[in-house]
Structure 1
Amino acid sequence: MDSNSKIKCSLGVFAYNEAENIIPLLEALVNQKLEKVEIEEIIVVSSGSTDGTDELVTQFAETHPQVRLIRQAKREGKSSAINLFIKEAKSDILVVISGDVIPAPTTIEKLVSTFEDLTIGATGGRPIPVNDDKSFMGFAVHLLWRLHHRMALISPKLGEMIAFRKVMDSIPSDSAVDEASIEAIVQSQGYKLKYIPDAIIKNKGPLNLKDFIKQRRRIQNGHLWLKKKQNYEVSSQDMGTLVKVVLKEIREYPSTAFKVIAVMALEAFCRLLGSFDFYVKKKNPFTWDIARSTKNLHH
């Protein structure tokens, strides 16, 4: 296939103190197996990093001219960084990538080649955690992403890495749930979402209870904000769908029933805290306190 007929895309990597993961991530991106797709550029937006992330990216870019760094002097939230990327990107298809994940070799091809279908506005892959599922926290992280997968098969829910048509100049810069905000805009323009379960993205969930609660609480707060500001609700907020996928999980793995119920009780507690933050404290966590234990994927 000649390069003129390939689907061109711009990749945006969003980093805040990602020195441990940024080079493995960039290597995974420049070594993607591509047929119908061409990566025009990889833009790293680093927001107030102080751990050497910027220097590592600059060094990497010397031998990889498609990579460039945009520095934000201070953290203004991931959505604000995404807006810088949207403004700078050349391609009509954009891919938003968190700085703390690693895509499988064919993930970009699978996410972007889907745009051959002109009705599709955004695609997302399947995040699979690297956590050890023998510990309770590891089990909780794997369970939540399995439920995410089951929900996304019913009604597309995109997360951790999302490709979309550039149908907007910006997203709300005060959104704490950037992928869901992109979903909302794309759907409001009449496009469809597509979940691609074999586009694998390795990520890492929290290793301890404190970080787990911090992360889940923030996400719930962000989804309530999204419903109020953009009048959009992701499928995980629909209790009917949630109950359906939890029961399916228990039927498939009956021996884990008690652990599943314990995790769902913890998730309900986190959602309660997130709702309290939103309705009572009037908080919007768009520049959030990082859950440090979700960093440093050992692949």
Structure 2
Amino acid sequence: MKSKIIKLSIGIPAYNEGNNIQNILLDVISQERRGWKLEEILVYCDGSTDNTVKRAKMIKNKLIKTRVGRRRMGKTFRLKQIFREMKGDILLLFDADIRLANSQVITNLVFPMSSNSKISLVGGNSMPYPPRSLFEKAVYSTFEVFYESRKVYKNGNNVFGCTGSCMALKRDFAKSISFPKIINEDAYIYFQCKKLSLGFRYCDDAIVYYKLPKSVKDYLRQVLRSEPKVVSMELKKYFGNLVEEELKRPKISYLRSILKEFTRNPLGVSYVSLLNVFCKPFFSVVLRNYKLAWFTADSTK
């Protein structure tokens, strides 16, 4: 008896991603299709002022549907539109500034859901390109600590394994999500999944690559958005104690990871640690005075 072919929708929200939009579209189109059928690729341009729309439309494929938003409304607004329009059994979300590591990424993301009906959300493995500059090497050290925490804690099935650049959602779950005004949409999706007692899996084999920030300004923009303390402050009012419970990393393994990176790159770890300390007093200010422009890291595009 033949197993059911899963129908997939791909959602790609994009803001000024003219440099990479064709790459991610071609990566998706060239994926090896095993057990799934590609129904549509929804590209939602969020008020882009560059050539993102033009370059997306240059890829001639009937599955690509480019939606042009004239005003910049933010990622959560475009995700809502994607959730409404998607028609597949499963929705895969990719950021427009990433690259898929190989031809098996989508198959690997879909497998946990196809093999276990209780799984409604799957997080991929977002990894930075190898660092080149001294600053990138310093930032990369923070990723190494983060990656160890993500992989060890609950075998990766934790909030750190759910990153917005690469995830898969079952249709019914995606359709049920309604975002409030937030900046951490990936964590919100994860906590909503847990709140509804749905299953989550982290897929270490579904690798996508992104660029590290090349400047202090862009690094701080990322920290002010995604640091666990910020996530807790923003989302606790929606999910209560669940947020702090999920954000707690095992202290011993966390400290071991920090020490390991410090021995590799003591100056870089010290420098980034000072930047993180500098940011802490501004967390509450940023959340109270949220502006889209504060969280756009130009050097990662």
- After TM superposition, the score normalised by the length of structure 2 is 0.86
In structure 2, the residue matched to 1:217 is 224
Q: Is the 8 A contact 1:222 1:284 kept in 2?
A: no
1:161-240 to structure 2, matched below 5 A, reads 161-166=166-171, 167=173, 168-220=175-227, 221=230, 223-231=232-240, 232-233=242-243, 237-238=247-248, 240=249
1:45-194 to structure 2, matched below 5 A, reads 45-60=44-59, 63-104=60-101, 105-116=103-114, 117-133=116-132, 135-153=133-151, 154-155=153-154, 156=158, 157=160, 158-159=162-163, 160-166=165-171, 167=173, 168-194=175-201
Q: Runs of 5+ in structure 2 lacking a partner? A: none
Q: Distance in 1 between matches of 2:130 and 2:41?
A: 28
- 2:296 aligns with one of 287, 290, 298: 290
In structure 1, the residue matched to 2:274 is 265
DSSP 3-state at the match of 2:243: coil
Q: Is the 8 A contact 1:45 1:71 kept in 2?
A: yes
DSSP 3-state at the match of 2:212: coil
Give the superposition deviation at 1:210.
1.4
Amino acid at match of 2:146: H
Give the superposition deviation at 1:115.
0.3
The 1:226/1:162 distance shift into structure 2, 3 A limit, reads same
Deviations, residues 93-122 of structure 1 (Å, cap 9, x unaligned) = 111111111112211111112102112121
Q: Distance in 1 between matches of 2:58 and 2:42?
A: 14
Deviations, residues 228-275 of structure 1 (Å, cap 9, x unaligned) = 23435278843x536632423524773334532432332233243223
Q: Distance in 2 between matches of 1:28 and 1:235?
A: 37
DSSP 3-state at the match of 1:264: helix
Q: Distance in 2 between matches of 1:236 and 1:242?
A: 13
Q: Is the 8 A contact 1:128 1:142 kept in 2?
A: no
Q: Is the 8 A contact 1:236 1:242 kept in 2?
A: no
Q: Distance in 2 between matches of 1:209 and 1:126?
A: 24
Corresponding pairs, count = 287
RMSD of equivalent CA atoms? 2.4
DSSP 3-state at the match of 2:56: helix
Give the superposition deviation at 1:7.
2.0
Amino acid at match of 1:49: S
In structure 1, the residue matched to 2:20 is 21
- Matched residues, percent identical? 24
Give the superposition deviation at 1:285.
4.3
Q: Distance in 1 between matches of 2:270 and 2:252?
A: 11
Q: Is the 8 A contact 2:46 2:73 kept in 1?
A: yes
The 1:276/1:255 distance shift into structure 2, 3 A limit, reads same
1:27-38 to structure 2, matched below 5 A, reads 27-38=26-37
- After TM superposition, the score normalised by the length of structure 1 is 0.86
Q: Distance in 2 between matches of 1:169 and 1:237?
A: 24
Q: Distance in 2 between matches of 1:149 and 1:225?
A: 23
